[in-house]
Structure formats: structure tokens, C-alpha cells
Amino acid sequence: MTRLTGSALRVTVFVGENDTWHHKPLYSEIVHRAHAAGLAGASVFRGIEGFGASSLIHTSRLLSLSEDLPVAIVVVDTEDRVRAFLPQLDELVTEGLVILDDCEVIRYVGRDADADSDETDTKGKSSL
């Protein structure tokens, strides 16, 4: 398990829900590659409305013709590990937006999840 203390780098990738990589959802390929690369974590968030470079508004409203909703994939790890992962994103993301942000990481866990860790304080909080 990767442990982070303090500063980290967050990469957020914005793509369309219908974007694919070899007939699989692009967001799923990014998450699986991040996992295979041993990165600390990745999550996918589905937007309810948005637009990008095409200026076409995509929305989840009932009467809308657009169903290609925006998706954000967020990956967090050390700067070195995230930057080492960027070439894979270059390969996968042909249309979209990739943002890098410095961030500070704090992980809150249940007592059972970290029972054997000596890094857990009395409230069940530990660093990633």
C-alpha cells in the first residue's frame, strides 16, 4: 500500500462518458491502468451537465438529446508517481482535459481497516 504524508499531486482527467479505448469505457481503462501502476487511488465522477472544447452542452435532463455526460477521473499519489503515469494518459486521452493540482492528503479510515497500523491515532485517522 502506498502511504502519503502531506503534499501530493492530484490529476483530474475530464472526458466524455461515451469515450472508449478498444471498445471499453475510457474512464475504466484509466482507472485500471492507475491501479496496475500502483497509484494510491483513483475515482470516477459522472457529471450531470457540462461542455468542453466542442462547446456542445451535455446534460442529464430528461428532454435533452445528449447522453454523453462529462466524466472526471481523479487520481492522487506522490508527484513522482503521478508524473510517471502521465505518458499513459497521453496515449489514452485524445480529446479531453488533464489538470494537475498540488494537494495535501489526509486519509480517514475505520478502526478495523487500520487495526494493525501503528500510524493510526486514537480517532482512527492516518496518513495515506
What pLDDT, in 10s, does the model give residues 6-64?
A: 889 999 999 999 999 999 999 999 999 999 999 988 999 998 877 777 777 777 665 55
Note the helical H segments in the chain: 26-36, 79-92
As a whole number, the mean pLDDT across the chain is 81
105 Cβ partners below 8 Å, 6+ apart? Answer: 4, 5, 6, 7, 8, 40, 76, 127, 128
Which of the pair, 73 or 126, is modelled with greater confidence? 73
Q: Which of the four pLDDT bands, split at 50, 70 and 90, describes residue 122?
A: very low
3-state SS class at 85: helix
Q: Are 38 and 4 in contact (CB under 8 A)?
A: no
Which of the pair, 5 or 99, is modelled with greater confidence? 99
Q: Are 27 and 16 in contact (CB under 8 A)?
A: no
3-state SS class at 34: helix
User: Can you name the residues that pair with 99 across neighbouring β-strands?
Assistant: 12
Q: Are 33 and 82 in contact (CB under 8 A)?
A: no
Torsion of CA 26, 32, 38, 40, to 10 degrees: 70
At 91 the pLDDT is 96
At 113 the pLDDT is 52
The Cα–Cα gap between 80 and 110 comes to 28
Q: Which of the four pLDDT bands, split at 50, 70 and 90, describes residue 121?
A: very low
At 108 the pLDDT is 54
